[in-house]
Amino acid sequence: MHGAARHVVKANQLFLLPAHLAHRYRADDHSPWTIYWLHFAGAEALAFYRHVQRGDVSEPLLISPTEERFHLFEDMSRHLDMSFSLQDIVYANQCLRCFLTGLTS
């Protein structure tokens, strides 16, 4: 996204932003909503970004809201909330890989 672009994000939409892109978001005052968000980095981050974000970065991607997808996100988040042990970090990273790969299916 370039400049001061504004978007109204609807249900089942996703924005995938490249690292270091300044952004902000807020819920509607009259109709608030819940968002799922995460930041990721690493040696394969750019490859995953390119794999998922195939079109114009200023347009949201449509995703299917599946129980499996929600469960995977919650499981990843829960393991990071439990501790920062190597075992939990490795597990969360594997969940992230599956989550990001699944965004294109």
| Residue 73: Cβ-neighbour burial (10 angstroms; 0-12, 13-18, 19+) | middle
Predicted TM-score of the model (pTM): 0.71
Please give the torsion angle defined by the CA atoms of residues 22, 29, 103 and 88, in that order, rounded to the nearest 10 degrees: 80
Helix (H) or strand (E) holding 13: strand 13-14
pLDDT digits (tens, 9 = 90+) for 45-62: 888 888 877 766 667 888
Which tens digit of pLDDT belongs to each residue from 67-101?
A: 898 899 999 999 989 888 999 999 998 998 888 88
3-state secondary structure of 60: coil
